[in-house]
Amino acid sequence: MKRVLVVGGGLAGLSSSVYLSDNGFEVTLLEASPKLGGRTYSMYNDRYEDYYDNGQHILMGCYDYTLDFINKIGGEDKLYSQESLEINFVKRGGDLFHLKARKYFYPLNLLFAVLKFKALRLKDRFKIIDFFLDLMCCLDEDLRDKTVKEWLRCKKQSDDSVKNFWGILVVGALNTTIEKASAEMFAEVLKKIFLQGSEASAIVIPKTGLSQLFSNLACKFIETNHGQIILSEKVLEIEVSDKRITSVSTDKNVYKNFDVTILAVPTFALAKIQLTGTALQFNIPDLKFSPIVNIHLWLSENPFKEKFYGLIGSDIHWLFNHGKHITLMMSAADQIITLESSEIKRHFCSELEKYFSIFHSEMILDFVVIKEKRATFIPDITSNRKRKEKVSSQIENLFFAGDWTDTDLPSTIESAVMSGKLISEQVIHSLK
Ligand SMILES: Cc1cc2nc3c(=O)[nH]c(=O)nc-3n(C[C@H](O)[C@H](O)[C@H](O)COP(=O)(O)OP(=O)(O)OC[C@H]3O[C@@H](n4cnc5c(N)ncnc54)[C@H](O)[C@@H]3O)c2cc1C
């Protein structure tokens, strides 16, 4: 039986471990922290007997690798999936606008959804439709050096639709602003979501905590398939001889005799792992990161009707309704990340009161603020080029996985899971 050492128990590490153990490999997974999941994990509120996540995550119908992974580990019943795209947007003052595509007549259903999206002027809606029609024939080369802002300007999108439509899509999908985001990456995302059938644009939301959906099931799958998961061990050093890894040292143990090692850690963690016995170095892409702030509120009563809302014109981007527990999410949260939790709560609540007259701060029984400083890398115009430069292909039995690898996707669950699956296929091929 071939032996594989996987370093990092985020979704990329879990995905590669699941697919390799499913293919008869003996997998050992090392994770530095005391829990699996990396940037997707849940905690428990004892007082209200409720799981809550480090950050609300949204999946989409076009997340083919993720949905396949969830099916493999047996989590398909833990998802709420829309039949087709439907988002309720709210403006300050409480006016509600539906962006809703019917199930049939794709792609006309999506164009009609935009046409009926009354949060924008009719003229702007036509311009957006024009933009989507052009998307089908737009070339990557034309967008390579453009930001989303420059692209939208070229396509004559009005200031109003940039602020109240495109800005929300960009910050939701790429966790950065239109000024920083790469047009090429945004085009890739739009094509995946809107040009692959009606189901691709449907929103999929976990019904349970992220740990219950991903880590717990993946862990069970790996262990059932004779794999071993070791928590609270941080890899510090990798010994190389003759362009092959001979040992991997953690803060507690030394691991030897593995046919292959997969490093499934983020770029900043990779930079801290020392290579010894060789002059080779990791050539790590220098990516910048963007924060996300979530606040979980437990309420005395639940005044919200919809499963989630997008907030137009606010620095809070989404509200998710889990019953008496709601989650508010701010992407690209640089301006708030350094504030105290109490200040963040005050800001979020006063903003929420301006959007929903049904909500009052007195309803709050408990709250938790979670700041993820390096939630995602910024997909700017240089990031894709940096990701395409191979990290280090010169060590023969070493492979890399992670949302930052060359998947052509932004920093997402789909990119992490896809990288894990693709790398497992490469490993299988390399050991044939
Ligand atoms: C708040 C938030 C909201 C998000 N929202 C969405 C969303 O709505 N939709 C979406 O698709 N994506 C979203 N993302 C992004 C998504 O969570 C990530 O892209 C994905 O989880 C990255 O997985 P990964 O395995 O590549 O990396 P990670 O999850 O970072 O996993 C890497 C693992 O390696 C471990 N590690 C690091 N160094 C070592 C070492 N030396 N030895 C051993 N182990 C080590 C770490 O502890 C970690 O567990 C969000 C992220 C955050 C933080």
pLDDT digits (tens, 9 = 90+) for 164-188: 999 999 999 999 999 999 999 999 9
C-alpha 142 to ligand 1 mean position (Å): 31
Instruction: Count the neighbouring beta carbons within 10 Å of the beta carbon of residue 232.
Output: 13
Which tokens sit at 425?
């296929």
Q: Which pLDDT score, from 0 to 100, does residue 311 have?
A: 96
Q: What percent of the chain has pLDDT over 90?
A: 93
Domain ranges of the chain: 3-41+209-285+380-430, 83-89+97-201, 289-377
- Least confident interval from 86-95, 124-133, 274-283: 274-283
How many Å apart are CA 379 and CA 190, to the nearest integer? 14
DSSP structure class, residue 363: G
Secondary structure of residue 298 in the 3-state scheme: strand
User: How much of the chain, in percent, has pLDDT values that exceed 70?
Assistant: 99
What value does the CA radius of gyration of the chain take, rounded to a whole number of Å? 22
Euclidean distance between CA atoms 420 and 424, whole angstroms: 6
Q: Which atom of ligand 1 is nearest to the CA of 55?
A: 1
| CA pair distance 405, 381, nearest whole angstrom | 16
Q: Please tell me the residue having the least CA distance from ligand 1 atom 49.
A: 38
Ligand 1 contact via 413 beta carbon (within 6 Å): yes
Instruction: Annotate 236-286 with DSSP letters as a single string.
Output: EEEEEETTEEEEEEESS-EEE--SEEEE-S-HHHHTTSEEESSS-------
CATH architecture of the domain 3-41+209-285+380-430 equals: 3-Layer(bba) Sandwich (3.50)
CA of residue 366 relative to chain centroid, distance: 27
Residue 393: per-residue pLDDT: 65
390 C-alpha to center of ligand 1: Å?
20
pLDDT at 392: 66
For residue 104, what pLDDT is reported?
84
Quote the mean pLDDT of the chain: 95
Number of C-beta neighbours around residue 7 at 10 A: 26
What atom in ligand 1 is closest to the CA of residue 172?
8
Q: Which of 7, 14, 35, 40 to mutate to test ligand 1, by most ligand atoms within 8 A of the CB atom?
A: 40
Q: Which two tokens stand for residue 388?
A: 């395409």
Q: Which of 57, 203, 229, 292 is the pocket-test mutation for ligand 1 (most atoms within 8 Å of CB)?
A: 57
Q: Could you tell me if the CB of 418 is within 6 A of ligand 1?
A: no
pTM > 0.75: yes or no: yes
Which has more pLDDT, 202 or 282? 202
Q: Which residues contact 342 (CB under 8 A, 6 or more apart)?
A: none
Instruction: Give yes or no for residue 391 having a pLDDT over 80.
Output: no
Give the residue, by CA position, lying nearest to ligand 1 atom 51: 375
What's the confidence (pLDDT) of residue 282? 87
Expressed in angstroms and rounded, the spacing between residue 11 Cα and the centre of ligand 1 is 7
Secondary structure letter of residue 128 according to DSSP: H
Q: What pLDDT does 394 receive? A: 86
Q: Is the CB of 376 under 6 A from ligand 1?
A: yes
pLDDT tens digits along 191-248: 999 999 999 999 999 999 999 999 999 999 999 999 999 999 999 999 999 999 999 9
The architecture that CATH gives domain 289-377 is Alpha-Beta Complex (3.90)
